[in-house]
Amino acid sequence: MLRYGEHEKELYGGEPDTTNNRMELQAAIQALASLNRACKVVLTTDSQYLRQGIMQWLAGWKRNGWKTAAKQPVKNIDLWQALDEQVARHEIEWRWVKGHSGHPGNERADQLANRGVEEFGKA
């Protein structure tokens, strides 16, 4: 869910045979990619995987040739690289909220995610 002032735009989607982590990454990628120009963004997520990946792990993965500290290939590398590309376009403040805690934007995002599962996850 994107919000700028009084304007809102809702995006959703899905893929068959995927994981929650991949969809969390895909949501951030698509939201940032939908912005027509470089923006200051507050990106709110309930995904620790997404938040920690961006704020703690990404720089090390890149420095290590997309390998983890254990010298293993980074999982979901395609999406992390796509997200890294989008992040470079914007000035982003990353915020974490506890899922299902009544945060209005997060609750709406959860509804949209479920809609994506219903419409796209059946293939």
Q: Indicate the DSSP class of residue 3.
A: E
Torsional class of 76: left (φ above 0), alpha (ψ -120 to 50), beta (otherwise): left
Residues in the chain: 123
pLDDT by 10s per residue, the chain, length 123: 888 889 988 888 888 888 889 999 999 999 999 999 999 999 999 999 999 999 999 999 999 999 999 999 999 999 999 999 999 999 999 998 887 777 777 777 787 787 777 777 654
pTM for the whole structure:
0.86
Contact 58, 79 (CB under 8 A): no
The neighbouring-strand residues paired with 41 are: 92
Looking up residue 53, the CATH number of its domain turns out to be 3.30.420.10
CB atoms within 10 A of CB 36: 6
- Please say whether the dihedral angle defined by the alpha carbons of residues 54, 86, 110 and 8, taken in this order, is positive or negative: positive
| pLDDT attached to residue 101 | 76
Residue 93's domain comprises 2-120
Report the number of distinct structural domains present in the chain: 1
